[in-house]
Amino acid sequence: MREPQDLEESIEEDEIQSDPQLILADKRYEIIGNILCETYEPGQAKWILSDMLDRVLLHKYLGLPIFLVTMWAMFHFTFQISLVFMEMITQFFLWLGTYTSQIPVPWLASLLTDGILSGVGFILTFVPPIFFLYLAISVLEDTGYLSRAAFVMDRLMMRMGLHGRSFIPLLLGFGCSVAAVMASRTVDGRSNRLTTLLVSPLMSCAGRLPIYILIAGVFFPSYAGTVVFLMYLLGIVMAVIVSLIFKRVLFREESSSLLMELSQYQIPTVHGSFRHMWDRGLIFLKTAGTYLLIGSIIMWILSSFGPAGYGVPIDASFASYLGKFIQPLFTPLGFSWQIVTALIFGFIAKEAVVQTLSIIYAVEGMGSLTTALAASIAPINAVAMLVFVLLYVPCLATVGAIRKETGSWKWTAFSIMYQLILAYLVAMGVIVIGGLFLA
């Protein structure tokens, strides 16, 4: 029997060059098997709970439907349980606004009420669903199910051209696209790594969640949880389709399998799950307290000032000039200049889309954001907006991460351009197909 230290010497050079990690793992388990054959005498086989659960959750045909149902239940739970907390936060900021609006200095009253409270205050109403989403993900992660989900998805991803290890970066994309892009460095092979990196921003990050909840709550209140789930599912589907196209057109390197160890199931602890929820949700709070606060002030200035100075009508403000300059490109999608302006600021951070709309409509005097949106666009255009937000250019931090990981401005520019084109075409497809059904 060979000793473990002789492992590398038993592998031929051409095998190492093909896929050294899988070959090393195969040889390692071969040695372990030989040792067990000489030292271990099996008794009567006994089924344990972990084995019984895996027979169902990892089933060839049942595994994927169970995964999709679990994801749907997670988003439905997130939306439903958050409603009462969101309403409490909304009422608190409305009450606070009644005092700031009475400040005798008009511009200061407008800055605090229409700018900071309507911007950052409205964004903070989405803290409950984001925190509950992280709580649900933490529970699934602590139970050991997420590693099973990676195993289930590996078979599908291999058939569609994605690397087996690509599931982990894509999964991280549900939290933050920056983390997903940086995690792509763990994928073997340059073309596999680039494919994973380029499709990672298509996954729905936490920054997009406030937009989904806002639009779904306004236009589809009875099915809001399902709409949010479908957006996340669409991101996965588009990532698979785009990666398949990339593997056929740009990259032709073969994908390799995912090798991973599945631990036994565990009962998550309350302390551990809530600690993970807090650590991840704190990132959103820090963003709202820094970048989004600065963004609120900038957006209020652009909405309240124009060439004629302070207090101009919203149609004569700098924000309207910015939106109206690009808005003709989005006329086929039915986007108003207010939405276009919000999408532009969404390049800084996706949360800024909701923040910008809230400030613009507050300065415009159209009342609550939900009322203003319902009066501004039709439901089919709202769906197109959801799709466009899902697929269009990632935030500035993600673009920086792509530049750092690729080391190339060429691939960074390609990532921005293909996502803009993809978002526009798919959103246009929603309008055309929706028009056929509504005609």
Q: What is residue 163's predicted lDDT score, i.e. its pLDDT?
A: 58
For residue 203, is it within any domain?
A: yes
**175 or 219, which is more confident?**
219
User: Are residues 361 and 260 part of one domain?
Assistant: yes
Amino acid at 399: V
pLDDT at 259 over 70: no
Are 242 and 230 in contact, with CB atoms under 8 Å apart? no
The answer to the question of residue 126 being in a domain is yes
For residue 254, the number of C-alpha atoms closer than 13 Å in the C-beta half-sphere is 4
Note whether 16 and 144 are same-domain residues.
no
C-alpha to C-alpha distance for 51 and 53, rounded to whole angstroms: 5
Q: Are 160 and 240 in contact (CB under 8 A)?
A: yes
pLDDT tens for 115-173 read: 888 777 777 887 888 888 888 888 888 888 877 777 777 666 666 666 556 666 777 77
**In terms of domains, do 350 and 262 share one?**
yes
Asked if residue 385 is part of any domain, the answer here is yes
Higher pLDDT, 426 or 65: 426
Q: Does residue 231 sit in the same domain as residue 325?
A: yes
d(CA 76, CA 220): 13
For residue 355, what pLDDT is reported?
A: 83
pLDDT at 350 over 50: yes
Amino acid sitting at position 216: A
Domain annotation covers residue 13: yes
Same-domain pairing of 264 and 368 = yes
Evaluate whether residue 207 is within a structural domain.
yes
Question: 103 pLDDT exceeds 50?
Answer: yes
**pLDDT the model gives residue 415:** 92
Q: Which domain holds residue 37?
A: 4-45
Left, alpha or beta for 155 (phi > 0: left; psi -120 to 50: alpha)?
alpha
In sign, the C-alpha dihedral spanning 301, 306, 312, 315 is: negative
The count of residues in the chain is 439
The answer on pLDDT for 2 being more than 70 is no
Residue-wise pLDDT tens digits, 306-327: 888 887 888 888 988 988 999 9
DSSP state of 4: G
229 and 282 in a single domain? The answer is yes
Give the C-alpha separation, 345 to 220, whole Å. 25
- Both tokens assigned to 338: 């207010």
Judge if 90 and 118 occupy the same domain.
yes
Instruction: Tally the domains of the chain.
Output: 2
- Do 36 and 84 lie in one domain? The reply is no
The answer to the question of residue 165 being in a domain is yes
Cβ(231)–Cβ(212) under 8 Å? yes
Q: Are residues 250 and 141 both part of a single domain?
A: yes
**pLDDT surpassing 50 at residue 252:** yes
| One domain for residues 10 and 158 | no
Average pLDDT of the chain is 81
Distance CA 11, CA 13 (A): 7
- The pLDDT value recorded for residue 264 is 73
Looking at the structure, do residues 280 and 377 belong to the same domain, yes or no? yes
Structural domain includes residue 52:
no
Residue 96 within any structural domain of the chain: yes
Give the pLDDT confidence score for residue 160 in this predicted structure. 60
Q: Is there a single domain that holds both residue 153 and residue 25?
A: no
Q: What is the pTM of this model?
A: 0.75
Q: How far apart are CA 354 and CA 365, in angstroms?
A: 16
For residue 309, list its beta bridge partners: 306
Radius of gyration, alpha carbons of the chain: 25
